[in-house]
Amino acid sequence: MAAHPDHGGAAGGRPTLDRGLLRALEDVVGSPHLLVDPDLVAPYVVDWTGRFVGRAPAVVRPGDTEQVAAVVGRCAEAGVPLTLQGGNTGLVGGGVPLSGELVVSLRRLDHLGEVDAAAGQVTAGAGVTVERLQQAALAAGWRYGVDLASRGSATVGGSVATNAGGVRVLRYGDTRAQLVGVEAVLGRGEVVSHLGGLLKDNTGYSLPGLLCGSEGTLAVVTAARVRLVPPVTHQVVALLGLGGVGAAVEACGTLRRSVPSLEAAELFLDDGLELVCRVTGMAPPFDRPHRCYLLVEAAAPHDPTGELAEGVGALAGVGEVAVAADAARRAVLWRYREAHTEAVNTLGRPHKLDVTLGLGELAPFVERVPSVVAALAPGARVWLFGHAADGNIHVNVTGLQPGDDRVDGAVFELVAASGGSISAEHGIGTAKRPWLHLNRSPAEIAAFRALKSALDPAGVLNPAVLLPPEG
């Protein structure tokens, strides 16, 4: 029996693994892919915000599904817990070995199949980046419906595990809505594979639906078959300066009805824009500031400029509008929104609270959050931006200690009291486990635990993720 990694928390020494197990893992993946040198392990134990720092005895990098199965099987026998990692772009500490787990990096599973042009589908290995999948789809005359700011590093496996959302959910749905098949390794090393891509296939439980969003707690996703959407040839972006979030929500509702080609409606505020401009050196989009900004994109096989202009023209309360049709100017308008994450990170390690509210609750929530934070942490600052049409706001709080989660709790309480969800698209990870009960009943959490023990009986897959500790 191998020794368990030490679960003494991030402050302890480096966890160790039984030598016999290490040798067995090396036999499976080959010595270049079993990393034990602390310098090589280091990038795998910290998330990119720097808020979550863990420790690992080693990193194992399997190259195919059989190797994943062998690694999981051996570790399950030995009772060694694993942290599964894709592009390490997660924001809730789910991909970092916070309790000394062995890291399994899935990045080498980067096989991308041929696009099935007739079906509009493709199968991608867990380690393929979202951007590479998007490019392959475009090259084959199709398009992948999911897009997100971390597209260059986020992987298919991670985006399936967390049911990633992003900026086009309003038109194409989340990652779960794209999935038509999945291949995965269950907790004892059994491979389940259902990648045929049949659109009509009522032969029992839907594993894609179940595993998507399970955050690596039920199985290791090794490949996904996804549906593609028709390509667009024309895109136009407009940035609207508005008096407040209420006006932005109203504009989203109107534009969704009047502009069928609408595919994104993103929100940010005056202080966030000012920070982005300061950090990036970009000039502000307008001569005068507005309280709130709504960035909308329309995309179609025909030029949607007229349709969007007409829709925007009919809106009430729009202060100013900037329109961009060519790619370079569209990218500038998008950067005002997408650079929020990197700009906030320059202020220190943020607490990232990714929440959804019903659309009617969004404006009152945005009004209230700063005072809820100030009551507990007067020196902290709140940055609010997100995906307006989805009711999804990213509450970023700077000026807090990484381990001080009183503000997190207070914001989540407010979200739950407003009927919202404490995780819109980033998942529960390790960071939000203590508050899962705000959104999920005891019966639901018991059902989650039953699923976990059925599919991962040894409890080795991401044991510190999603489910709160028992007792």
Chain residues binding ligand 2HG by CB under 6 A are 149, 341, 352, 394, 396
CA distances to 63, 157, 244, 264 from 212, in Å: 22, 9, 35, 23
Question: Between residues 149 and 323, which has the closer beta carbon with respect to ligand 2HG?
Answer: 149
Spatial separation of the C-alpha atoms in residues 203 and 226, rounded to whole Å: 19
Output the smallest distance, CB 369 to ligand 2HG, in A. Answer: 14
Question: Between residues 194 and 340, which has the closer beta carbon with respect to ligand 2HG?
Answer: 340
Question: Between residues 225 and 352, which has the closer beta carbon with respect to ligand 2HG?
Answer: 352
Tokens of 437: 């009960």
Output the smallest distance, CB 316 to ligand 2HG, in A. Answer: 27
Question: Between residues 148 and 226, which has the closer beta carbon with respect to ligand 2HG?
Answer: 148
CA distances to 21, 194, 217 from 14, in Å: 17, 39, 24
Spatial separation of the C-alpha atoms in residues 335 and 342, rounded to whole Å: 11
Question: Between residues 149 and 445, which has the closer beta carbon with respect to ligand 2HG?
Answer: 149
Helices then strands, each counted (H, E), the chain: 16, 15
Output the smallest distance, CB 159 to ligand 2HG, in A. Answer: 11
Output the smallest distance, CB 358 to ligand 2HG, in A. Answer: 19
Output the smallest distance, CB 6 to ligand 2HG, in A. Answer: 32
Tokens of 58: 């080693």
Question: Between residues 81 and 166, which has the closer beta carbon with respect to ligand 2HG?
Answer: 166
Output the smallest distance, CB 394 to ligand 2HG, in A. Answer: 4
Tokens of 190: 């059994």
Closest CA to 97 of 149, 64, 54: 54
Output the smallest distance, CB 61 to ligand 2HG, in A. Answer: 26
Element (H, E) at 137: helix 130-139
Pairing mode of beta strands 234-242, 191-194 = unpaired
Closest CA to 68 of 29, 112, 39, 99: 29
Output the smallest distance, CB 385 to ligand 2HG, in A. Answer: 7
Backbone angles phi and psi of 135, in degrees to 5? -65, -40
Question: Between residues 257 and 335, which has the closer beta carbon with respect to ligand 2HG?
Answer: 335
Element (H, E) at 60: strand 59-60
Pairing mode of beta strands 351-356, 392-398 = antiparallel
Output the smallest distance, CB 178 to ligand 2HG, in A. Answer: 17
Question: Between residues 262 and 388, which has the closer beta carbon with respect to ligand 2HG?
Answer: 388
Q: What is the 3-state secondary structure (H, E, C) of 306-329?
A: HHHHHHHHCCCCEEEEEEECCHHH
Question: Between residues 235 and 356, which has the closer beta carbon with respect to ligand 2HG?
Answer: 356
Element (H, E) at 161: helix 156-161
Q: What does the DSSP assignment read for 278-313? A: HHH-PPPSSSS--SEEEEEEEEESS--HHHHHHHHH
Question: Between residues 261 and 396, which has the closer beta carbon with respect to ligand 2HG?
Answer: 396
| DSSP 8-class letter at 112 | B
Output the smallest distance, CB 177 to ligand 2HG, in A. Answer: 17
Spatial separation of the C-alpha atoms in residues 346 and 148, rounded to whole Å: 20
